[in-house]
Amino acid sequence: MSEMISYAFMQKALLAAVLVGLLCSTLSFFVVIKKLSFLGAGISHTALGGIAIGLVTGVDPVLTGSIFAVGTSMSIGYISKAGKVGEDTVIGIFYASGMALGITLISSFKGYYPELFTLLFGNILAVTVKDILIMAAVLFTVLLFVGIFFKELIAICFDEEMAEAGGVPVNLIYMGLLAAMGLTVMVSIQLVGVVLVSALIVIPGAIASRLSRNYRSMLLVSLLFGTGGSLCGLIISYVYPVPPGAAIVLILALLFGLIIAFKLLFDRKRPILIKE
């Protein structure tokens, strides 16, 4: 362990893993409560279109991908509400369209894009100081947003109509949550890539939902597992020849599976009380 931390690139990778773990697990809490898991997958895959625009035009693909991801997430929210179209339908359309745009641009323009593999599958070992500063800025912004509107976000996640009746600006805050998801997806791509980022934004909250009895403890458990899973996956990838992103997601998925199995076993052994 001491040898691992002696390398500068591992120090940056560990810091990035903590930042992204905190960021994803914070939003994972709301994603699970609001049932937005498919939205996370939709944003991450749609972002490929924005990434491709950056690659073929020579602009920073993280910047173009971020703009595209935030625009997509907010567009999904607006169209599903204003157009009265099912959210899953809108997500499916954007999901396919963003992927199609990305594939079309990358295949139509000549050139070799080495960054594409990193963005698709993640490479946290190549993270730079600039990347860490961006992650820290996004984390600060998201935590500030969540801290200011925490009660309103909880109200919206549980019952939008009641929240609106209580004077909560539901549409505005919901759009803010979607924008936060878009930014989170893009900065997390450096850690696990487009392919796996949706898992990082879903699994910590899913684990916490099985271990918690109230939303406060659920948020804390989500933060614990999201950050811990990111660090464990990174350490495993250092010891064994496993890609860091894949290791992180597999660790979290394994923990979720073990918790589900334990819950099923525990519930089966619990005595059944029959009321006559």
Radius of gyration for the alpha carbons in the chain, expressed in angstroms and rounded:
19
Q: Both tokens of residue 219?
A: 């948020």
Task: Give the model confidence (pLDDT) of 108-159 as tens digits.
Answer: 776 666 666 667 777 777 788 888 888 899 999 999 999 999 989 988 888 8
CA separation (Å) from 178 to 14, 153, 241, 248?
27, 12, 36, 24
Q: Which long-range contacts (CB under 8 A, 24 or more apart) does 55-61 make?
A: 55/105, 55/106, 55/113, 55/115, 55/116, 56/105, 56/106, 56/109, 56/111, 61/115, 61/119
Task: Give the model confidence (pLDDT) of 75-101 as tens digits.
Answer: 888 888 776 777 778 888 888 888 888
Give the distance, in angstroms, between the CA of residue 259 and the centroid of all CA atoms in the same chain.
21
Mean pLDDT value across residues 218-240: 89
Give the distance, in angstroms, between the CA of residue 189 and the centroid of all CA atoms in the same chain.
9
Nearest Cα neighbor of 196 from 246, 236, 237 is 246
Q: The pTM is what? A: 0.83
The predicted structure's pLDDT at residue 116: 66
| Least confident residue range of 59-63, 66-70, 172-176, 190-194 | 190-194
Domains belonging to the chain, first-starting first, are: 2-262 (1.10.3470.10)
The yes-or-no verdict on residue 197 having pLDDT over 60 is yes
